Amino acid sequence: MNAYHTTKLSGKAVQHYRHGQVLKVKTIKHYHLTNRFQLTNGYYITANKTLVIKK
């Protein structure tokens, strides 16, 4: 999964996370009809349930 600077998830990816890696979420931002997770480092990832599992 890739992390981006903005909630649009556009532009070049800033960070890449491997499958199974645990990330800490700071807030949940609503973007149109979907949600984005803002990580503690300020980057955004998708909240798509096929890519993210709550632990």
Read out DSSP for 1-52? -EEBSSTT--SS-SEE--TT----EEEEEEETTEEEEEETTS-EEE--TTT-
Average pLDDT, stretch 21-36? Answer: 93
Token pair belonging to 40: 């503690």
pLDDT at position 52 over 90: no
pLDDT of residue 29: 94
29-45 tens-digit pLDDT: 999 999 999 999 999 99
Average pLDDT, stretch 15-24? Answer: 92
Domain limits, the chain: 2-54
